[in-house]
Homo-oligomer: A and B are copies of this chain.
Amino acid sequence: MRLALDAMGGDHGPQPNVAGALAALAAAPDLNLLLVGDQAQLEPLLAGSSFGPDRIKIVHAADVIGMTEKPVEAFRKKPDNSIATCWKALVIGKADGVVSAGNTGAVVAGGLFSRKFLKGVRRPGIAALMPTAKGRTVILDVGANVFPKASHLVQYGAMGIAYARTILGIAAPTVGLMNVGEEEGKGHELVNKTYELFRNGPLAPSFIGNVEGRDIHRGACDVIVTDGFVGNVILKQAEGAFELMVELVRKNVIGVLSAERELAATAFQTMIGKLHHSSAGGAPLLGIDGVCIICHGSSDERSIANALGVAAHSVRTNLNAEIGAALDALPAFAADE
């Protein structure tokens, strides 16, 4: 299998991308990579590598889209950018997947422009893993589709269930709809319509109804469906909340210890590492005919290697066949649904 890695993406430029690529190659003998980006910058970074061009090959892309550029504008101004080149490799069948720590909006835009969707998909959605008291919850969409229709959300439910089953190994995943209260009829028109479609459709046996913000980290269900605006806020709020707790615990708890300070600090570090790991590996853009993993802009070597590993795993397990079957089981939606 071959994955296209956007070697220019992220806050730290090519270095962590190339290092992560080499680590992923070492870990997975069935993996080959296209390293997409500026040849002049990438060649020196590959110089010491023991992998030949059969395992890793540079594909030149002259331009880079900045992390805060407006996606659509950037695609027009810089047609030869590394993200578009990755997608091109997927579209023409030179790659099975795309991995990027670059501008999220641009990666999603590249996917939308490619039109390489799985059959029946109305809008791809980004899934993320959230740590919970019981393990992990898949939440989608977290930012690809900030003003969806109800049919999109039901498709996200089907995709999320397939993802939880195939990638997380949960036999019969449950799905909840993010709302402002548990009772039916809470919230606005979009969630009410979505509730109705879930409740009266083929996903009804998996549907636990509405869930609230406090249910996210409690692990009330395996998959949470929400619009990309709310999902994006949730994802980033979790990051901020844990950041604050880490700061407060270090200062107010670990800081007051003496004899066992070292012990507590090490235990805390391990705990944080596990929390971080539980959401690591990047966020898949689901609904694409191929694999696409979007990494955090701050990704380091390990995160990139993890994301490549998850992408490879998605190809190996044929996640898309599961997603395709789940989507096929949904009824045909009306145009305005």
Chain A residues in the interface with B (C-beta under 8 A):
68, 70, 105, 131-133, 143, 146-147, 178, 180-183, 185, 187-189, 212-218, 228-230, 232-245, 247-249, 252-254, 256-260, 263-264, 267-268, 270-271, 275
Contact = CB atoms under 8 A, between A and B. Distances in A.
Contacts of A258: 260
Nearest to A213: B236
A217 B188 contact: no
B242 A241 contact: yes
A204 to B, nearest CB: 22
B213 A181 contact: no
A254 B253 CA distance: 9
A233 B236 contact: no
Indicate the member of A212, A237, A249 with the most B CB atoms within 10 Å: A237
Nearest to A191: B229
Given A180-B232, A183-B68, A188-B147, A237 B217 contact: yes
Contacts of A189: 147
B271 A252 contact: yes
Contacts of A252: 267-268, 270-271
Contacts of A180: 143, 146, 228-229, 232-233
B229 A213 contact: no
16 contacts: A105-B181, A132-B244, A212-B236, A216-B241, A217-B244, A229-B230, A233-B233, A241-B242, A245-B249, A248-B275, A249-B268, A254-B264, A256-B264, A257-B263, A260-B264, A264-B264
A234 B254 CA distance: 28
B188 A212 contact: no
A40 B48 CA distance: 85
B216 A240 contact: yes
B244 A218 contact: yes
Contacts of A247: 133
Contacts of A271: 248-249, 252-253
Given A131-B244, A218-B244, A241-B245, 19 more contacts: A146-B187, A147-B189, A178-B233, A212-B236, A213-B232, A213-B239, A214-B237, A214-B239, A215-B236, A216-B240, A216-B241, A217-B244, A218-B243, A229-B230, A238-B241, A249-B249, A249-B268, A252-B271, A253-B253
Given A68-B183, A232-B213, A268 B253 contact: yes
B218 A240 contact: yes
A232 B213 CA distance: 7
A328 to B, nearest CB: 30
Nearest to A268: B253
Nearest to A235: B213
Nearest to A248: B271
A218 B271 CA distance: 21
